[in-house]
Structure 1
Amino acid sequence: MEDQHNLELYYDGVLENVALHLTGEYKAVEVDYLDLRKNGIVKSFRITRQVDRSILEIIVSIPYNFPDVFPVVTIPDPLFSEIYPIPHLDLHKVLCVFDAEIAHPNSENPNGVLDEVINKAFVLIKEGNSGQNSSDYIEEFESYWGQDAKSQLLSLISITSEPKEIDIITFKQKNWNENRIVTDSRREGEYWLIKAGAKIEAYNKAFYLPLRTMGNPPFPTLNCDFLKLLIIKNPEIVKPFLDFLDNNKRPTTVVFSVPYKNDFLVGAWEHKLTEKQVITPFKGKVRVQKSLKGFRVGKQNAFLELQRDFRKLVVNKINVMRVDKERLFTRGGDGELPDGMRIGVIGCGSVGSHVIGSLADSGIDQFLLIDEDTLKFENIARHTCGASQVGKPKVEAIKQKLVEHFPYIEISGYKENVLKILKDYSEILNSCFFSIVALGNFSTEWRLNQLQNNGLINKPLMYVWVEPYLAGAHAVYVDPSLNGCFACLFDRQHKFRQSVLADPSLYSKREAGCQSTYVPYSVTEVKRFISDLSFFMDDVRSGKLKENTLFTWLGNLSYQKQNGRRIAGRWAIAENYSVRKVPLSEFGICEHRKK
């Protein structure tokens, strides 16, 4: 057991030790619990304990890799049938004792782990059976609802406080198990699905209900049960619910939300076709009833359907997976989302493409992209797009990549020179909250600065560029309503005053051929720069930045010095991978603005 270099010997030794502990300490009896054998279980033990006046029994099953994972606790019949449902117990008779996502077993003390699991299991059974922990049901709502679910659908709907009619779209997507999605509008759903590579097959109407509660398990199963639940616990939505059923054929899907902490739990159910077998008084013949008694065929009265004629029809429960932007960024981010913000990016090369990716990851979902170039093989080592996109315009390659990842993103792309676009459509950048200029072309940047100073461009620009070998990189934020502009950072010879390298032009490289000069740097350093730049961009988006500012990122200066690259005096003793932010006001009053 001491030799942990051989995992098989180690796990076998632990198993032998815990078997002795369970049989000695708990008088456990080894059982062959076949239900769990296929899940990596190597031994199972029955443990019986008297709690108050009740005799409780659990099965503790040891996985092959215990103590690196928790043992599995199940409740066998007849106890399971007597107490189910209780919080933390599922239909497979498994009792969730500890959440493995937030709790971890102490592998140095296997017997201690067993003791904790066993004691907690009996506590959960006692509390669940007595109703002491019934409030825990809401935390496991999706698990309980999902146990009975017959299917799953995706959801793009916005959670609202009022019932509403929604659309449900049936589709095919070769990589997904789901084939239906609910959405606030057909257009929204079509747009999302097409960008996700799905083929649309059919449309129907569905209904959304904002419930105050679904109560505790067991959840309703029949038409009459669901109607009763709504009448008793959510009476304000009964009428719109019945009105919708009156006007729509079966099967009918109903999506609901239930408040949970600062969010919502979402599920769905489906009322089946109104059809049941009826035994007639005459000779006991069986016929199929498909409509309401006393009503013409095709006429509907939802209340009588659910309460009288088809009250015993089983309702299908449906799992709902939210794929709306709010849910995705709450689950996979910090929950803070930009509200309807459009960002322009001029230049979709190596720097620009990574800036775009960073903005999309932060939740920006509206982009204006401008770049006249086509993606080439020589670009892909530093670009976010790869070989499969070579030959496409860079704006189209990035658009395809982003919408496949985030189907809700809206992108307008222009394969044009930005000055040509501005010549024909002078207001295009003014439709953006601000725009990133990542061209690496000084003449164009200088012209954009003049257009900003002259008032043609009235929205902020952020000029971004990198120095050779990523010794440093810079971003200049310029709001035309504030002091300072891009030109304030350059001397009369157009030399940048804050370069990290003493003379960056010495380190540009050139391949054979005219106009083939390029700046050498690695994608690893670009990503590191963009990571730090993202916090600066967040300050801009959130309105925290109150002055026009120069953002300077310092790379691995020690490495540059070791390779004989001279660092400018102002940065000689600066720290590797550090950041400086300097207001443009420190460079004096801007002399470039039109008087």
Structure 2
Amino acid sequence: MHKQVYSFLLQNGIDCSYNEKLDYILLNIPIDGETFQLIMRFPKYYPYSFPKILLVDCKGYKIPHRYTDESLCLYDLNEMLPDPDNYLEDALMTVNRAKELLLQSKNQDNILDFQWEAVEYWKSKANGKVDVLLEDSNTTRLIWTSKLIQNHYIACDSQEKIKEFVGDTYGLTTKNILFEKAFFVNVGKKLLLMLDTIKDIHGLIPKEDLPLFFEFLIQNTGKGVMIICADNGKGKCFLALRIELLSGNVDYTMESIEEILELNHEREFLYMECKNFQMKRLFTRGGDGNVNFDKNCLVIGCGSVGSYLCKAIVDIGIVKSVTLLDNDILSVDNIARHLCGSDYLLFDTYKVEALKRELNKHYPTLECQTIHENIWEYILYENEFFDTFDLIFICVGNTVIEKKMIQMIKEKKIQKECIILWVEPYLIAGHALFIQNSIDEFTERNIFDYRGMFKSNVLENSSQYLKSEAGCQSAYAPYAGFEVQKFVQDVIDVYYRKIYKNSQKNNYELTWIGKIKWARKQHLDIKPMWRAKEDRYIDFKRIDI
């Protein structure tokens, strides 16, 4: 097969020779009077991967798109895959792409490619890592770092956040954790070419930020982690490094620091790979980037519905911050239908704390607060608390609390957007009330029946289907974890598409039909208007007109 590639290249005018012993093809590529030598090697899984092209001598030209082994990056495998049935044509195309890269490099037509691939170039030279837990990428400032293991650091504005991250994400003890100052600098639009020495980094820092840079060096006696935020022409990127200056027995002071820097101008720094945990970055790289992060949310009730709801509202990109309110302890009875699992059961753990840790595993920079108190404390004595949020979710499965919250909205003691979610046994149905406007008598009549019960309930007297175990345990509603996840996902999807993106503020009701077909077979007592519905049917309507 490799000899066939060699013969095909010759037939197509490529000056080359085949080294049978070492199994590679030597290519002689003429570019404007100069000949570049390239080596074509064949990967282990060829022709299911492209041939590899290595540059023998760059002849002094700056050639981008090179790996550390001098092979050329000629394909983005997210955009183009090899064609094993046409491997000969693939080989010729690979050579032609290499020729084009060399021609552009010789003519300096692709010099900006160095700028655009600065992060990858930096990463290829890295001998350490920095986990960056910063949301503000605009402000130059001193931050905190902590060394996790050899040449692996965590960087954040808050020491407490670093401790949480180390414990929740890596499961490590934080008892003896040590901190040192680090320097975060926003350099704006700067060329990021050929940064190798302390002098290069010094020259990159804006003049107005030099005093803070000097302060960082003085506080840390010339050593520490730096994070550079730069605009490389395609957007913001982070570059991390660690410097260690030699002072020659000169004390680090504001008077001596420039002299010390001058002594170290040719000294190299340690390149470090930057792991950017910014929410915007996570949603851009791991999603479509279509997020707003504009809602300060309160979630009351962090059981099954509340836990999956928290994950959904963060996943969909509307959460700026979230506060979790629940005073229950997570138990073994919860975990089959809860976002949090058995790893939180060794010690008594409040649901809000377990849920916060679970959310932070996915989104380490998410702003999340917890309150493990009884909701009645706030309803009865501190109801001004609710208006400090933009959006309130009530997921308590308690009619008394739900009706009290509706009354407070009606009395304008709560004047923020509220969403109440509850489910019926076996998740025959789930419900959501979206309250954006004041509650008038018309809205109230649409919510409650003549007995003061929720009018939209699908089952007659659903409490008859509650279950309880031996002893004095409270009754519970049976339903499966999969069903509650599907219900919550559909509710948040409808909210996002039909309410969140709609500038008009109205009141809505959603009824989600779950296992209605099964309920009919079991002869459950279903209200007439719902009996003929199919599983996964959604009824969504305004209740204020």
TM-score class, shorter-chain normalisation, is 0.7 to 0.9
CA distance in 1, matches of 2:236, 2:135: 11
8 Å CA contact retained: 2:459, 2:525: yes
Among 387, 405, 410, the residue aligned to 1:430? 387
Which letter does structure 1 place at the counterpart of 2:48? Answer: D
Q: Which residue of 1 aligns with 2:339?
A: 384
Which letter does structure 2 place at the counterpart of 1:426? Answer: N
Which letter does structure 2 place at the counterpart of 1:257? Answer: C
CA distance in 1, matches of 2:388, 2:21: 69
Which letter does structure 2 place at the counterpart of 1:119? Answer: N
Q: Which residue of 2 aligns with 1:215?
A: 191
Q: Which residue of 2 aligns with 1:418?
A: 375
8 Å CA contact retained: 1:380, 1:386: yes
Among 263, 266, 285, the residue aligned to 2:235? 263
Deviation, 1:467, is 2.9
The root-mean-square deviation of aligned C-alpha atoms, in Å, is: 3.7
Indicate the SS of the match to 1:408: coil
8 Å CA contact retained: 1:31, 1:46: no
Deviations 1:94-124 (A, max 9, x none): 2110111332223443223222222112211
Among 42, 60, 74, the residue aligned to 1:62? 42
1:203-352 mapped onto 2 (5 Å cutoff): 203-215=179-191, 217=193, 219-227=194-202, 229-230=203-204, 241=213, 249-261=221-233, 263-274=235-246, 289-291=248-250, 300-307=255-262, 309-339=263-293, 341-352=295-306
CA distance in 1, matches of 2:186, 2:21: 46
Deviations 1:121-174 (A, max 9, x none): 221122122211222222211122233334332323455556x3312422337x
Deviation, 1:264, is 0.7
CA distance in 1, matches of 2:199, 2:413: 66
Which letter does structure 2 place at the counterpart of 1:315? Answer: F
CA distance in 1, matches of 2:85, 2:457: 54
Among 149, 153, 176, the residue aligned to 1:180? 153
Q: Which residue of 1 aligns with 2:402?
A: 445
TM-score of the aligned structures, taking structure 2 as reference length:
0.84
Indicate the SS of the match to 1:369: strand
Deviation, 1:22, is 5.4
Unaligned runs of at least 5 residues, structure 2: none
8 Å CA contact retained: 2:131, 2:154: yes
CA distance in 1, matches of 2:492, 2:163: 32
Q: Which residue of 2 aligns with 1:478?
A: 435
Count of aligned pairs: 535
Indicate the SS of the match to 1:427: helix
Q: Which residue of 2 aligns with 1:585?
A: 544
Shift in alpha-carbon separation, 1:563–1:106, aligned structure 2, 3 A: farther
CA distance in 1, matches of 2:438, 2:182: 49
CA distance in 2, matches of 1:126, 1:118: 12
Among 521, 528, 531, the residue aligned to 2:489? 531
Structure 1, 500-509 or 341-350: larger mean CA deviation? 500-509
CA distance in 2, matches of 1:248, 1:55: 51
CA distance in 2, matches of 1:352, 1:158: 26
8 Å CA contact retained: 2:277, 2:365: no
8 Å CA contact retained: 1:368, 1:411: yes
Shift in alpha-carbon separation, 1:252–1:582, aligned structure 2, 3 A: same
Among 329, 337, 342, the residue aligned to 1:374? 329
Indicate the SS of the match to 1:55: strand
1:68-217 mapped onto 2 (5 Å cutoff): 68-76=48-56, 79-80=57-58, 82-83=59-60, 85-158=62-135, 164-172=140-148, 179-184=152-157, 186=159, 189=162, 192-193=165-166, 196=169, 197=171, 199=174, 201-215=177-191, 217=193
Indicate the SS of the match to 1:377: coil
Deviation, 1:452, is 2.9
Indicate the SS of the match to 1:318: strand
CA distance in 1, matches of 2:192, 2:325: 54
Identical aligned residues as a percent: 25
CA distance in 1, matches of 2:403, 2:297: 20
Shift in alpha-carbon separation, 1:494–1:20, aligned structure 2, 3 A: farther
Unaligned runs of at least 5 residues, structure 1: 1-13, 34-42, 276-288, 587-595
Shift in alpha-carbon separation, 1:398–1:272, aligned structure 2, 3 A: closer
8 Å CA contact retained: 1:168, 1:180: no
Deviation, 1:462, is 1.5
1:426-575 mapped onto 2 (5 Å cutoff): 426-479=383-436, 481-483=438-440, 488-500=446-458, 504=462, 507-512=465-470, 517-538=475-496, 544=503, 546-555=505-514, 557=516, 561=520, 568-571=527-530
8 Å CA contact retained: 2:127, 2:151: no
Shift in alpha-carbon separation, 1:305–1:530, aligned structure 2, 3 A: same
8 Å CA contact retained: 2:214, 2:254: no
1:12-51 mapped onto 2 (5 Å cutoff): 18=5, 21=8, 26=14, 27-30=16-19, 44-51=24-31
Shift in alpha-carbon separation, 1:403–1:223, aligned structure 2, 3 A: closer
8 Å CA contact retained: 1:221, 1:315: yes
Deviation, 1:240, is 6.0
Which letter does structure 2 place at the counterpart of 1:444? Answer: I
Shift in alpha-carbon separation, 1:172–1:297, aligned structure 2, 3 A: closer
Shift in alpha-carbon separation, 1:161–1:528, aligned structure 2, 3 A: closer
